[in-house]
Structure 1
Amino acid sequence: MTEANGETQGQGEAQNAGSQVRMSVLAQFIRDMSFENVVAQKGLQGGDVQPDVQVAVSLDARKRPADHQYEVTHKFRVTSKNKANGDTLFLLELDYGGIFHVEGVPDEQLHPFLLIECPRLLFPFVRRIISDITRDGGFPPLNIDAVDYLALYRQELARRAQAQTAEATPVQ
């Protein structure tokens, strides 16, 4: 009787191990980057500058040809304007991607997994790049706040639902 229980228990552990989520980062890369120091280009004087920094983030994920591989891309647009007069100080655009090997995630959970968990792993590298670029571009290093990827994902779902509702509503 003990052997049967041991066998059943071993099979259950093997099944749990088979459905366990496995993820690894295969590569990280800058797909595209642009930094414009508008202050230097226009020859503006540094005088009374009170920067107002806006950060816009978008995400994209797609399946790659290899089994269980996905590419996830962050797109950051960072704009700094002078609060006093609205003049742009700098503009930074960064597309940063990662290639992930993901197994064991149920199909219905794969989309949120790719757009929440994968970007969380890439974010510290994005933050460092933005800090380095702004510093090297002649400004104090900008350490952007952590991104709430769950909230970002929920906002995108709400936006899509609203767009579908608008499409389904007949125009009179």
Structure 2
Amino acid sequence: MAENGSLDETAAGAAQPQQQIKMNVLAQFIRDMSFENILAQKGLQGEAKPEVSVQVNLDARKRSVEHQYEVITKLTINSKNKESGEPLFLLELEYAGVFLVEGLKDEQLHPFLLIECPRMTFPFIRRVVSDVTRDGGFPPLNLETIDFLALYRNELTRRQQEQAAPAQ
């Protein structure tokens, strides 16, 4: 048994130490927001049965300070009456987070910024959307959790198909 223990220690010692990833949220804020209560502006006859659609876009950019990045989650939320198709409200939100990210290889940085960073700010975005819709005269809209990994993979697939299309 002593031999197994020494083999394990030798193998562990031979493995290179993994670099520690450091990530801090330095700031988060609303960059831009617009809420239009179309229902109140136009008036509605009868009962409203809302149908909500949510579009999500992400953007990440390097800041002038080393290892700092700004990640922006852009939401466009439309609510229409199911029966008539009449718009009820429109919410456009750009929510930014400033992150310090160190210890990642270059090929890991892009997915990290567009998956992990939005996961960190999403609970705050959900709260803003809930408060704004409530304060706008509607029941609070509680967004379902967004799968940022699936969004990232879908975008990669879309880009690959887009690049392959002109070649054909």
- Aligned mates of 2:74, 2:103 — CA distance in 1: 27
* Pair 1:27-2:27 in alignment: yes
Identity %: 66
- Aligned mates of 2:44, 2:81 — CA distance in 1: 11
- Aligned mates of 2:102, 2:166 — CA distance in 1: 35
RMSD of aligned residue pairs (Cα, Å): 1.7
Trace 1:1-172 onto structure 2 (pairs within 5 A).
16=17, 19-45=19-45, 47-169=46-168
TM-score normalised according to structure 2 size: 0.89
Instruction: Give the letter aligned to residue 28 of structure 1.
Output: Q
- Aligned mates of 1:33, 1:167 — CA distance in 2: 37
List, as ranges, runs of 4+ consecutive aligned residues in structure 1 with deviation greater than 4 Å: none
Secondary structure of the corresponding residue to residue 17 of structure 2: helix
- Aligned mates of 1:32, 1:168 — CA distance in 2: 38
How many Å apart are 1:43 and its aligned residue? 2.2
Provide the residue aligned with 1:4 in structure 2: none
How many Å apart are 1:151 and its aligned residue? 0.2
Deviation readout 1:102-138 (Å, 9 max, x if unpaired): 0011111110000000000000000000000000000
How many Å apart are 1:44 and its aligned residue? 2.2
TM-score normalised according to structure 1 size: 0.87
Provide the residue aligned with 1:3 in structure 2: none
How many Å apart are 1:33 and its aligned residue? 0.2
Instruction: Give the letter aligned to residue 41 of structure 1.
Output: Q
Q: How many residues align?
A: 157
- Aligned mates of 1:23, 1:166 — CA distance in 2: 38
Structure 2 alignment gaps of length 5 or more: 1-9
Structure 1 alignment gaps of length 5 or more: 1-8
Instruction: Give the letter aligned to residue 67 of structure 2.
Output: H
- Aligned mates of 1:60, 1:136 — CA distance in 2: 28
- Aligned mates of 2:157, 2:107 — CA distance in 1: 17
